[in-house]
Amino acid sequence: MASPLDIESRTREIGLQIFDRVNKQKKGFFHGDIDARIMDWAMKDEDLKVQLFRFVDVLPMLNTPEEVVKHLQEYLKNFPVIGQWGINLAAGIGIAGKVVGATVKKQTEGMARRFITGSNVKEASDVIERLRKQNMAFTMDILGEVTVSEAEGEIYQKQYLELIEGMTEQAKRWKDVPLLDTAAGRPIPKVNLSIKLSALYSQFEPADPEGTAAAVKERLRPVLLLAKEKGAFVCIDMEHYAIKDATFKIFREIMMEPELRDWQDCGIVIQSYLKDSEEDTRELIQWVKERGTPIQVRLVKGAYWDYETVIARQRHWPIPVYTEKHETDANFERLASLLLDNYPQIELAIASHNIRSIAYVMAQTEARGLPQGALEYQMLYGMGDPLKQAVIEQGQRLRIYAPFGELIPGMAYLVRRLLENTANESFLRQGFAEGVSADELLRSPIEVSKTAKPIHTFEQDKLAFPNVPERNFSLAEHQEKMKASLAKVRSELGAYYPLIIDGKEIKTEKEIKSINPARPSEVVGRTASASQKEAQMAIDAAKKAFSAWRDMPPEKRAEYFFKAANLLEQERADIGHTSSQHDEIGMDGYDDVADADREVLGRADNGLFDRLVARRGGFGHDLGGHARVISLDHVVHPWGLADEHEAHAFRRDGRAARQGLHTSPVATATQGAIWLDDEVAQFTGRAQRPQAQFAINGDSSTDPRAQGEESHRFGRLPMAKGQFAQGGRAHVVEEIYRAPYLWGEEIAHGHVAPLARQVGQKEGGAIGQICQ
């Protein structure tokens, strides 16, 4: 085996050879003058790039030149450079504007077309026949990802079935090209397809791996069986991180089925930008050994870097990708070596336009003495043609990723390509737009790491008060925890919860049953129902404790709530289950929980309806009186959100979007929320908080106001600010224990003080309590 030093010097030699071959060709890396110019602008100005890509993204939906011009003006008015494109943004919507709109649309579509082989099979197959004539194999991809309806999923499957039938028929006419059609002497399929699993099924849900796998396999199986029968190759593409584990699971399970276990013409993708990727690769290798039939692994760096970093940061999750480019590059080389060590069980495909990465793998392959064609190189259609030619000249098998399809999914693909090519650290940008020297570009990533300064530190993420993140239910660890807690919660269904007054548990004759609205025969829990007597006891206890509580320093009071918050956090999954069990409704971040719930409990009859409502962002009364208490993090009392209007206001302020807001229509308040409130009361009780407030369950007859006590507001702190002013009445707000959950962040940031002052003015003595 060659030493690392030998590998390095051979990598350099091969790399220089490839650069040489590339430079001898007179072609640019991107097609066309306009493409090159757009790339150039985008690279020079980050803001322009964002606006350009937004514009490209929206373009397929713009049906008239007028709409195009209007959007151009809106998106790009601050960028005079656009004028150089011959676009007069002040043109208005007159004749000149129409011409501009039509031209821009045509040119942008033309740009997309350069990355896409055609909009139908006929156009695509003309392109791939041409590619074969130029000694390039292909893999065809039907554009489309994240299908949103079952009809789309079925169409996607049908298209693949037709593609396999059609292309394998056509392939019979194609001349054999030994370089393309054999791998180390073994014949390999001429027709090669790449499939995105998320496009096959509209409910692809990582939180429900079993349900998702079953449904996806049902769609995928006929495609794979037909490919096997007709002699086509299928590679399963890898998409965003959230569905990575589910994708591996589906691949491994289906390829172990008796009809497919002996099928070699299949593959999957590993993304070296993922910190998990080495572990995934080792597991995959182990699995291939068990399976006993080789597969191909396409090694890529990963196309969703921006997306993954944004999503993880937004949700306060650990970032799943490396954040320094040299880390991804070094991992790419490590994984390539690991995979080459496992030839022939694994046949490697290197999908990269990075000459250093390619040369390194060539050097490693040589050092292992692997036969010609033992691995292949893959590149994308529409870019880097000189590099493609150079790799062919090195005597390697080259496969072109050839997407085809309609413009709308095509634009998402185009934007990904543009982002990739214009990124600061992209090899293509550095090598072919910024003219960084070959020597520099061929440096080992390990060497680079020794001197590189961190570029992406994400310092701004380190908040003084980080919110507890939502659980990431795409991870098996959280799915398991959720299942366990679901079993626990199930075993406790129907339990009795007494009132807690002055720190003591009090049982009452009357009780309130909390019913699971998705399964009305199921009693979630029973709570004591207070009478006037208990309500008075609670008020008296609260009054008695009030002065000590009022005089307690805010820091001390906050401690109780932080303690309670910690307890809540520890048992969060159980609470989540109780709530999802209660409602079976997913909304915003909570969707995941409801899904995990369904997965274990079986789909609730109204599940689909609920999901649709949730997807549409439906809120409030659409559910015909179903309770809607759906937060893991915050329980918002129904009286706090007395009507839909307020609920919307609450959502608008962004809190709900970030953390999942749970509320219930006021009509079902007692059934909807009380049980959960009790649950929370227990936690604050367990944190040994003084009972300076009353929290009590009961029906409307318990409300002191029903007895004419205008000065008391029974129950909880109104959450919507507007309510504080309600009718100018002096409300005594005794019960506020939810406030810290809701306002924990504001307390930390000092935002609560103005609110407290406002409440103080309106509510008399309430200020001391608000400061909790």
Ligand X SMILES: Cc1cc2nc3c(=O)[nH]c(=O)nc-3n(C[C@H](O)[C@H](O)[C@H](O)COP(=O)(O)OP(=O)(O)OC[C@H]3O[C@@H](n4cnc5c(N)ncnc54)[C@H](O)[C@@H]3O)c2cc1C
Residues that bind ligand X (CB under 6 A): 237-238, 269, 271, 273, 300-305, 321-325, 327-328, 351-354, 357, 378-380, 401, 420, 423, 425-427, 456
Phi then psi for residue 404, to 5 deg, are: -140, 160
Euclidean distance between CA atoms 759 and 694, whole angstroms: 19
Kindly tell me which of 428 and 528 has the beta carbon lying closer to ligand X: 428
Please identify, using beta-carbon distances, which residue of 456 and 513 lies nearer to ligand X.
456
Q: What's the closest the beta carbon of residue 139 comes to ligand X, in angstroms? A: 7
User: 238 vs 673, which CB is nearer to ligand X?
Assistant: 238
CB-nearer residue toward ligand X: 104 or 236: 236
CB of 246 to ligand X, least distance (A): 15
Q: What is the residue whose two structure tokens read 């909304």?
A: 587
Q: What contacts 325, CB < 8 A, 6 or more positions away? A: 425, 455
Query: Quick check: 319 and 309 in contact, CB under 8 A?
Result: yes
Closest CB 297 distance from ligand X, rounded Å: 11
CA distance 696 to 716: 9
Answer positive or negative: Cα dihedral of 430, 433, 434, 435.
positive
Cα–Cα dist 443/424, whole Å: 17
Taking the complex as a whole, the smallest distance from the CB of residue 356 to ligand X amounts, in Å, to 8
Strands 499-501 and 137-142: unpaired
Distances (CA, A) of 300 to 270, 354, 520, 529: 6, 11, 50, 61
How many CB atoms within 10 Å of residue 236? 23
Specify whether the CB–CB gap between 101 and 59 falls below 8 A. Answer: no
What is the closest distance, in whole angstroms, from the C-beta atom of residue 350 to ligand X in the complex? 9
> Could you tell me which of 269, 270, 276, 271 has the C-alpha nearest to residue 318?
276
Q: Shortest distance, CB of residue 513 to ligand X, whole angstroms?
A: 51
CA 618/CA 687 separation, integer angstroms: 36
- Name which of 301 and 598 has its Cβ closer to ligand X: 301
Q: Which is nearer to ligand X, 378 or 631 (CB)?
A: 378
The residue among 373 and 445 lying less far from ligand X, judged by its C-beta, is 445
Query: Rounded to the nearest whole angstrom, what is the least distance from the CB of residue 448 to ligand X in the complex?
Result: 12
Please identify, using beta-carbon distances, which residue of 434 and 605 lies nearer to ligand X: 434
The Cα–Cα gap between 424 and 43 comes to 7
Nearer to ligand X, 30 or 273 (CB): 273
Tell me the closest approach of the beta carbon of residue 268 to ligand X, in angstroms: 9
CB of 384 to ligand X, least distance (A): 8
Cα-based distances in Å from 253 to 199, 250, 266, 288: 19, 5, 13, 12
- Token duo for residue 315: 């949700």
Spatial CA neighbour of 231 closest among 173, 181, 312, 168: 168
